[in-house]
Structure 1
Amino acid sequence: MTPFGTRLRQLREAHGVSQAGLAAALHVSPAYLSALEHGHRGRPSPGLIHQVNEYFGLIWDDAEEMVRLARVSHPRVVLDTAGLSPEATALANRLAQEIRRLPPEAIAALSRTLDTVLPPGG
């Protein structure tokens, strides 16, 4: 799953809306919406994010959070390490090979470590 897909599902369930109902309201197929929620589709378009925000009445910080979540929700990430150190390339390759085996607490710890060195958006 992706951060955007997880939040979309939470919103939909909290409002008691079925996937088919939300898909119809957003003018997308239920299959697309399911794939988006499960992380099998790439980032949603800005237009779709806007539609989701309007449908659920999200404004200000909540709407911006949906935009941020969409930005970090591409399920197939490519890292370009050209011009970086051999250590950076090795780290990127190791992470690509091992990420599926990392438990949630290890992922959270790695994220916190990155946040202390490079604050998000920085």
Structure 2
Amino acid sequence: MEETFGGFVREKRRACGLTLRGLAAKLELSPVYMSNIENSRRAAPTHEYLDRLAEILQLDKADQERLLDLAAKSQHNRVSADLPNYIMDREIVRAALRTAKEADATDQEWQDFIDQINRRMKNSGEDKGSEA
């Protein structure tokens, strides 16, 4: 069965030891609304709520990204909430995405690109550490 936004939230809520009512109260949402979200009868709430939800559930970076991806799917959006501004603010990113789409870039090509960026970030961090 495919993972849903609501199922993901329920799993993380339970892992934090929160009740549905407790989470709803922290988000200032009704318990019925929160129940509808967890049972996939409602789409994910707005980005502001997603930020608060990630904080309350103490999600790490990977889980925050998963939360945003699942939220976008539940809202029938095509792009996770953390990406549109980055994409639209950078012409080169749009060009890269269009080129990758046209070329039907493989998962391996994307992984190679991610690995290259991660190496740069790691090396950049090491350079900063050696300057101290």
Q: TM-score range by the shorter chain?
A: 0.5 to 0.7
In the TM superposition, what whole-angstrom CA distance separates every residue of 1:15-74 from its partner, at most 9, and x where no partner exists?
Answer: 111110010011100000000000111232111110110101223222111101101124
> CA–CA distance in 1 between the matches of 2:31 and 2:71?
19
Pairs aligned (count): 80
Mark the CA change 1:56 to 1:118 in structure 2 (over 3 Å): closer, same or farther.
Answer: same
Residue ranges of structure 2 left out of the alignment (5+ in a row):
77-103, 111-132
4+ residue segments displaced more than 3 Å: 117-120
Structure 1 residue ranges without an equivalent (≥5): 78-116
CA contact (8 A) 1:2 1:73 kept: no
CA displacement at 1:118 relative to structure 2: 8.7
| Structure 1 residue aligned with 2:25 | 24
More relative contact order, 1 or 2 (CA 8 Å, 6+ apart): 1
Distance 2:28 2:38 in 1: 16
Give percent identity, aligned residues only: 31
How many angstroms apart in 1 are the aligned matches of 2:35 and 2:11? 13
Give the TM-score, by structure 1 length.
Answer: 0.57
- Distance in 1 (alpha carbons) for counterparts of 2:37 and 2:9: 9
* 1:91-102 paired onto structure 2 within 5 Å: none
Q: Which stretch shifts more, 57-66 or 32-41?
A: 57-66
Question: Residues 46 and 67 of structure 1: is their aligned pair in 2 closer, same or farther, counting only changes over 3 Å?
Answer: same
